[in-house]
Structure 1
Amino acid sequence: MEINQQPVVEVELSSLRLSDSPRLAGESPEHVQALMAAQNPLPPITVHRPTMRVIDGFHRLRVARLQGAQRIAVTFFDGDEAEAFVLAVRLNVTHGLPLALADRKRAAERIIASHPLWSDRKVASVTGISPGTVGDIRRRTEWEPSPQDRRIGQDGRFRPLDGSAGRTLAGELLSENPDMSLRQVARAAGISPETVRDVRNRLRNGESPVVPQERRRQREDGDGAGVPARHGESGALRLARPGPRLRQAPAADRVVLVKQLTADPALRFTETGRNLLRLLTLHTLRKEEWDAIINSVPLHCGDIVVDLARQFADLWADFAMRVEEDVAQIG
C-alpha cells in the first residue's frame, strides 16, 4: 500500500471518478476555500488506477476545477478496491481535513467487513479511533468467533482470539523460568508481550493466568490479551520471585520524581531525553487541575478526546512494558 515511491503524472480531470469517499458529509466548502487561498502548489491527489476513482484529494480536485485547470497531478494506486478504501481512510486520517468521528466509525465497520481477520488494533491504526471502539463496532456487526478463530495483528502475525492456551503456557514458563524476558515468553507461547505482562501480574497476585471467560474483555490486538480482572480464581501457578506492586504516586510525589529526572545529565543533554522529560512533566498536574481540564472538554469534542486519551494510554502502557523489560534484563 506504499504510494510514496510512485511517480507523479498529470491526467485529465475529465477522466477521474468521484465516488466511495469515506467522508459521509461530502466536501467541505470552508476547506475548499482554504486550499484556494494557499500560496504553495497543492500535493498530487491519489487515484485508483484500475477504476480511475479518486482515493484521496477530493477537495484538491474541486479546487483545480474551480481554477479552470484541465489536468491535475496524480499518484496511482494499483491495489484492489477494498485496499483502496483502506488507503483512503488512512490518508484522510493522517493529513488534510481530518475525518469526522462518525466517518471513522463507519469506515471501521466497513474495514471489519472487508478484512475480518484484522485485529481491532490494526483497524484502529487505520481509522484513528481507539481499539476499544473498534471492538464495540465488531461486536455489533460480527458473528461470535469460535475459539479457533485467529486475527492478524499490526505486526502481521496471526494470533488466536482465545488466548487461554497461550496464557497457561506463559504461566508455566514464568513459573519455571522467572528470569525469562516478556518477549521470550511471548514468542514461546504465541501471545503478545503485553499479555505475558498481564499473566505475570496475575500470578504475582495468586490468580489464574487465564482470565475467567465471563470477566474477559478482549484486548484489541487480536491475540487474546484481556484487561486484568479485579478478582480472579486462585491458581496453582505462582511466580518463583514475586515482585512488589507499585502504587500510584500522589501528584506532589510525581513532581519531585520528575524534578529528580530533570537534573539527570543523561536526560537533560539529549534531545530524546528532553522529549521524555517534557512528556512526563505534562502528567504532574494536581487532581484539581485534571478535574478542571475534564470539566472544560466541550461535549462535541468528547468522543475524539476519549479516543485519543485511550490511544495515548495504550502507548504509555507499551512504553512502560518495554522499559520495564530492559531494566529487568540489565538487572
Structure 2
Amino acid sequence: MGLHLITADTAPAVSGPAAAQEPAPRHRVAAVPVDALLDADSPRIDGQNSDRVRMLAALTSPLPPILVHRATMRVIDGMHRLKAARLRGDATIDAHFFEGGRTEAFTLAVRLNTTHGLPLSPADRTAAAQRILHARPHWSNRRIAATAGLAAGTVASIRRRSGEQNAQLNTRVGRDGRTRPLQATEGRLRASQVIAANPAASLREIAQQAGIATATAKDVRDRIRQGQDPLLPKRPAPGASSPAGPGTLPQPDSPPRPATRASAAAIGLLLPNVGKDPSLRTEAGRMLLQMLNVHSIGDEAKWLRLARSVPGHRADLLAQAARRCADHWLRLANELETRRT
C-alpha cells in the first residue's frame, strides 16, 4: 500500500486490505500552533535539508498541511514545512492528525517519505527497515520492504544480520494483513532455488535439499514448469471489498498483478523458450526480450555487488535513475497484464 500526502478534499477512508497496514490520517485540517508541535521522529539520519527549508519559507503560496501524531503532537510528515513556518515566524500551521501508536506513526512516516518529497537516502531506508523489523519482527520481508522502499531480498539480509530470526515466529503477517505460515513458504522457495540450479534433479533430491515432502517438491516443480509461482496462490479474504471500491486509497506501489506471479526460478527456466515463439520474432518482440535479458540482475548477491561498487557520492543519483527505470518497467508490466486473455 502506498500513501500520498492527503489534503482536506482528498482524504477518503481506508477499507479492505489497505486498512491492514496503517490507518490513514483524518481528513479534517486544523490550524495548530507551531509552538505546540514536537519535531519528528524522523527516518532521516542527517535530519532536514536547510536549503529545502529556506526554499519552502520563500514560497508565497500556502504549504500543504503537515501530518501530526495526535497522542504526542509529534510531526510524522512535514518537518521541512514546519521549519519553514518557524523560519518565517508563522504562529500556526495547517495539519492533519493521525490516530495510532508510536510504531505505527514511525512506519507511516517512513512510507510517506518514500513516496513523495525529498527522497530518503539508501542509509535512511536501511536504518528505517532495521527499526521496523525490531519493532515488528512478525511482519513479512515484503511488507517491510514496501514500507521502507527497499527490495524484499534486502530486508531478508537485514533480518539475517540483525538476528531477528526468532525461532518462535512460525508465521509472518503480509502486506494484506493476513498471517501465513513461514516454514512452508521458505521450503517452497528453497525448492525453487534447487530446481533453478539443477533442473534435472530428482524429486527426492529436491525434497531432501529443500527440507520438504516429496509431494510438495513435485507440486513446486510442476508449478514452475507451468510458469507459475512455486508458492501457493493467495486466497482473497472472505467478504473482502474490491481494492478499487469506493473510499479506498490509491496504491501506487502495489500495481495490478496476475493471480499467480512467476518466481525468479520459473522465469529463468522459461524465458529462454519464450524467445523461440514465432509470434515474438518481430522487431518489438526481439527488442523486449533483449532488454529483459540485459536488465536481468539475477540473484541477491549479484545486485548487492553492483550496489556496493557504486561510490557514495554517486549513490543518490544512480538510485533515482534505477527507480525511474523501475517505474517504466512497472508501467510496461501493468499494460501487459491488462492485455491478458
Percent identical: 34
**Which structure 1 segments of 5+ residues have no match?**
202-226, 229-242, 262-276, 288-293
Determine the structure 1 residue equivalent to 2:162.
141
Which of 127, 130, 134 does residue 148 from structure 2 map onto?
127
* Aligned equivalents of 1:305, 1:129: Cα separation in 2: 15
Displacement of 1:143 in angstroms is: 3.9
Counterpart residue identity of residue 115, structure 1? R
Matched, 1:54 2:100: no
Residue 186 of structure 1 aligns to a residue whose secondary structure is: coil
* Aligned equivalents of 2:85, 2:106: Cα separation in 1: 23
Cα-to-partner distance string for 1:6-48 (whole Å, 9 max, x where unaligned): 2000111111111422112122111112212334311111110
Change (3 A) 1:312 1:157: farther
Determine the structure 1 residue equivalent to 2:61.
40
Change (3 A) 1:8 1:171: same
* Aligned equivalents of 1:244, 1:21: Cα separation in 2: 44
Counterpart residue identity of residue 246, structure 1? P
Displacement of 1:158 in angstroms is: 2.0
Which of 224, 236, 246 does residue 272 from structure 2 map onto?
246
Displacement of 1:301 in angstroms is: 3.4
1:165-314 matches, cutoff 5 A? 171-173=217-219, 182=228, 186-187=232-233, 193-194=260-261, 201=266, 246=272, 257-259=282-284, 283=291, 299-302=312-315, 305=318, 308=322, 312=326
8 Å contact 2:37–2:75 — kept in the other structure?
A: yes
Shift >6 Å, 4+ stretches: 174-181, 284-287
Counterpart residue identity of residue 56, structure 2? L
Residue 47 of structure 1 aligns to a residue whose secondary structure is: strand
Counterpart residue identity of residue 186, structure 1? L
Determine the structure 2 residue equivalent to 1:11.
32
8 Å contact 1:174–1:180 — kept in the other structure?
A: no
* Aligned equivalents of 1:51, 1:45: Cα separation in 2: 15
Q: TM-score, normalised by structure 1?
A: 0.60
8 Å contact 1:173–1:185 — kept in the other structure?
A: no
Query: Per chain length, whose mean CA-contact separation is higher, i.e. which structure has more relative contact order (CA < 8 Å, sep 6+)?
Result: 2
Cα-to-partner distance string for 1:143-202 (whole Å, 9 max, x where unaligned): 434396221122222223323666755555578999999489824899x9447x578x4x
Determine the structure 2 residue equivalent to 1:68.
89
Counterpart residue identity of residue 257, structure 1? T
Which of 172, 178, 183 does residue 157 from structure 1 map onto?
178
* Aligned equivalents of 1:31, 1:170: Cα separation in 2: 55
Residue 43 of structure 1 aligns to a residue whose secondary structure is: coil
Q: TM-score, normalised by structure 2?
A: 0.59
Determine the structure 1 residue equivalent to 2:43.
22
8 Å contact 1:17–1:52 — kept in the other structure?
A: yes
Alignment root-mean-square deviation, CA? 4.8
* Aligned equivalents of 2:55, 2:90: Cα separation in 1: 18
Change (3 A) 1:144 1:185: closer
1:93-104 matches, cutoff 5 A? 93-104=114-125
8 Å contact 1:148–1:160 — kept in the other structure?
A: no
Residue 63 of structure 2 aligns to a residue whose secondary structure is: coil
Displacement of 1:94 in angstroms is: 1.2
**Which structure 2 segments of 5+ residues have no match?**
1-21, 192-212, 237-258, 296-305
Displacement of 1:80 in angstroms is: 0.3
